[in-house]
Amino acid sequence: MDYLELNWVSTLSGVAVVLLVAFIRLHWPFRYQYMSVLTKRRPERVLYWLEASYRKNGRKSVAMLDKSSHEILTGNLEQAERYIAEGLSSCKERPTLFNQALVHYLFYNLSTVYFYRGKYKDAIDVAFRVYERDENLTNALGIIVCSQARLGDIQSAVEAFSMINKKKLKPALEFFCLAEIAAAKGDFPRAVDYLQKCSTQPYILTMHLNPSEIDKRLDEWTKASSQVG
């Protein structure tokens, strides 16, 4: 019966299997998000995978997260807020470790909705709580930077921007934040230049930016630039 005796090989193999199963179970619901990251240069594919998550994950909280992301990217902010509320309600009803971890991503989406709806103070409040919990979520800090710039608090926006970990700063986020800061300073030609640079990057995963938001700012700042000139 020697083959039933435990040794270091069998022990390590058992631990490895358990860890692998746990890893797969934890990450499996996010498989559509991972696919969207792989297709980030093709906005239509990102939207496809987010919608696929909603269809395949049913009423799970991760489905509400991805559906709200989809609605933000398509400009349906009221619908996005509704799905966020459903997701938060689901997490409250089933406070599993998974749902507890998912809550702050739902709140990040909420801060994004507030930002695009012009509720900048609310966006800052929610994004700040998200960033306190996860400092790796640089997009939340981006929400704070851009909201402060929109409120005219340029110094706070610059200070918040300096807090972003440069090693994890994506070009699209950098250019978009700099564009909002430049516009807040009244330097609209530079704001337009930064925004055009942002649009050459895979920006759709940056603060859920979409082409309509880019175009809206280009139009706003180009007109302001001509009036200043």
**Across 155-180, average pLDDT:** 92
- Read off the pLDDT band of 83 (50, 70, 90): very high
Most confident region among 7-11, 98-102, 153-157 by mean pLDDT = 153-157
| Whether pLDDT at 85 is above 80 | yes
Question: What percent of the chain has pLDDT above 90?
Answer: 61
Q: How far apart are CA 204 and CA 212, in angstroms?
A: 11
Per residue, the 3-state secondary structure of 187-206, as one string, reads CHHHHHHHHHHHHCCCCCCC
Name every residue whose Cβ is closer than 8 Å to that of residue 191 and which is 6 or more positions away in sequence.
Answer: 179, 180, 182, 183, 217, 221, 225
Better-scored residue on pLDDT, 35 or 179: 179
Q: Output the pLDDT for position 206.
A: 93
Q: Can you spell out the DSSP letters for 13-65?
A: HHHHHHHHHHHHHHHGGGHHHHHHHHTTT-HHHHHHHHHHHHHHSTTSHHHHH
Q: Output the pLDDT for position 58.
A: 76
Question: pLDDT tens, 174-220?
Answer: 999 999 999 999 999 999 999 999 999 999 989 999 999 999 999 99
| Whether pLDDT at 88 is above 80 | yes
Question: What percent of the chain has pLDDT above 70?
Answer: 84
| Whether pLDDT at 71 is above 90 | yes
Q: Which of 113-122, 129-138, 163-172 has the lowest mean pLDDT?
A: 163-172
Q: Phi/psi zone of residue 206: left (φ > 0), alpha (ψ -120 to 50 degrees), beta?
A: beta
Return the CATH number of the domain spanning residue range 34-228: 1.25.40.10
- DSSP H helices, 94-168, are 97-116, 120-133, 138-150, 154-162
Amino acid at 220: E
The DSSP output letter for 178 is H
Q: Output the pLDDT for position 7.
A: 58
Q: Output the pLDDT for position 74.
A: 95
